[in-house]
Structure 1
Amino acid sequence: MTKNINEIGWKIIGNPDGNTNLTKQEFDELGVIFRERSRKYTEKQKQAFEMVAVFSAINSYIDEPIKSGKILAPGHFIKELLKIYKLKNKDLADQLGLTKSNFSALINGKRKINFDLAIKLGKIFGIKPKLWLDVQNKNELWRLENADKEKYKKYTLENLLKA
């Protein structure tokens, strides 16, 4: 491992804006450390460690550029949370007030996170609604910017000053 837990941990807790700035390698190393240390903890403590990992993954995803079109929908992180708490899709769908088909669309990236869902997920899992919306917005911006790159080339300060 290239860094120890204190170096990686400082990147998580030492940042006042809550962003982790972890690289993928550091995130993976942190996961290994959590798994090794979690063997001696209670189920609730293990869940807390895994929640930190998901929170870190969300922040890292928001902060890093999308590479090779690999988009992670909010549903990707919801699936991880379902695993952590051993929840059934139906139970979370019911809690969120979603039908089975709408919940399936949500976790498979075919349904967007709206403000209402972001608040509900925030209350349930303790992950700020803004983070859920940031994931959604990052993905939408990437799709829009990459769907029609030519369309946006004309929007420059230089072109505006020529007018």
Structure 2
Amino acid sequence: MSIANTKPLERRPIHPGEILREDFLPEYELSVTALAEALGVSRQSVNELLRERRAVSPEMALRLGKLFGTSPEFWLNLQRNIDLWDAAKGLKREIAHIHPLQVA
């Protein structure tokens, strides 16, 4: 069972790159280069993620989860929140006329 969220979020959710940049890198004393090497990806990929210009993919979520001892779902949920926020803002006018169906 889930609880309906009746209060809409008024600000854009936090990007996973910001979480990495502000919380994880300082805590683990990692540079962009060290993080890229630990993840087995390019420095450019990590840099784009940290600058919030790249989304967390399922592959990256698995890598981040393994490296930091978190779940891949943690990273994907952060990204999902961003994706839904952006989609809702972009489609606001288009979906405004859609009304929920009633069960017969």
TM-score greater than 0.5 by the shorter chain? yes
**Greater than 4 Å deviation, 4+ residue runs:** none
Q: 2:54 matched to 1:114? A: no
Q: Does 1:93 align with 2:68?
A: no
- 1:14 is aligned to none
TM-score, with structure 2 as normaliser: 0.80
Match of 2:45 among 97, 102, 118: 102
For 1:111, the aligned partner's letter is R
SS of 1:112 mapped into structure 2: coil
Residues 1:76 and 2:18 aligned together? yes
State the structure with more CA Rg: 1
Residue of structure 2 in register with 1:135 after alignment:
78
The alignment's TM-score, normalised by the length of structure 1, stands at 0.53
RMSD: 2.1
Alpha-carbon displacement from aligned partner over 1:30-78 (angstroms, at most 9, x marks no partner): xxxxxxxxxxxxxxxxxxxxxxxxxxxxxxxxxx964333x31101111
Q: Percent identity?
A: 26
CA distance in 1, matches of 2:40, 2:99: 44
Displacement after TM superposition at 1:122 (Å): 0.7
Instruction: Return the alpha-carbon distance in structure 2 between the equivalents of residues 72 and 141 of structure 1.
Output: 12
> Which protein is richer in helix relative to its size?
1
Any gaps of 5 or more consecutive residues in structure 1? 1-63
Alpha-carbon shift at residue 148 of structure 1 (Å): 2.6
Q: Residue 72 of structure 2 aligns to which amino acid in structure 1?
A: P
| Residue in 1 that maps onto 2:3 | none
Shift of 1:154: 2.8
Unpaired runs of 5+ residues, structure 2, are: 1-6
Among candidates 62, 69, 75, match of residue 126 of structure 1: 69
- Which is bigger in relative contact order (C-alpha 8 A, separation at least 6)? 2
